[in-house]
Every structure is written in structure tokens, then in C-alpha cells.
Amino acid sequence: MKTSKPHQLFADYLGNQRVLSHPEEFLGTNWKEVINFWMYLDTLSYEQLDIVDSQYRAFDLADKDSVWFLARNAASEVTSRHISNCVYVSTSGHVRATATIELMGAHKILEQGKTLTFVPMFLNL
């Protein structure tokens, strides 16, 4: 399996290299989507990441907090807070981290009739 920079950093922060060969044991139900997203992140240019950051800055602070808590709580239903924290620091940026955490709990968010907010910022770059 090819390893992305965030995936390797996640393994390092977690202190468990097993996550490289068995991510499903650590990242929850949506582990494939997380791994694919991390691979995608490795392909983005600084200009593309600036576009995402600009979209993020356009959000109202209360909306940012609301979506962050929704993503974090959904991810907490499928994995531990420690793993979410390691994911957060391994993705090199709040928007990338929140999108990853949102992906981890995406099915829980969608079950609540809500939509993903941060992941779509990375589409059509």
C-alpha cells in the first residue's frame, strides 16, 4: 500500500506503525475514504490549498465551531479521541484536519440529516 505524508505522520504521532498496513483498525468505518483523501492531499499545490483556506476563512466563526464540533463528535462515535487528536496533528492544517475528521464520521453526520461542510471545499480544485 502506498503511504501518504499524513498517513505516515499519523502512524508516527500515534506511535504505532501498524496503522500503515491496517488502517481499518484505527480510522473506523470510513478508513478507505480517509486514506484516499490523504493521498489526494499529497497531490495538491500550495495554490490549491490557499483556495481551500480562503473558503474556510469566508465561514462565520460560529459556523466553523458548529461544524467542527459536529465532525469531532461524529468521529468520536467511531474511534477514540486520542486517534482523532493524532489525525488532527498529522494533517498539517485545521481545514485538512477537520475534513479528515469529518470523513471519519461522515456516515454519522449524514444519518443526522446533515451535510459535510469541509470535505466539499477540496472538490473541483
* Residue-wise pLDDT tens digits, 62-88: 788 888 889 999 998 889 989 999 999
What pTM was estimated for this model as a whole? 0.92
**Interval 89-110: pLDDT, tens:** 999 888 999 999 999 999 999 9
Helix (H) or strand (E) holding 81: helix 81-90
Q: Is the CB of residue 74 less than 8 Å from the CB of residue 117? A: no
**Three-state SS across 11-35?**
HHHHCCCHHHHCCHHHHCCCHHHHH
Q: Which residue has the cell 490549491?
A: 48
Backbone angles phi, psi at 116, to 5 degrees: -75, 140
What ranges do the domains of the chain cover? 5-122
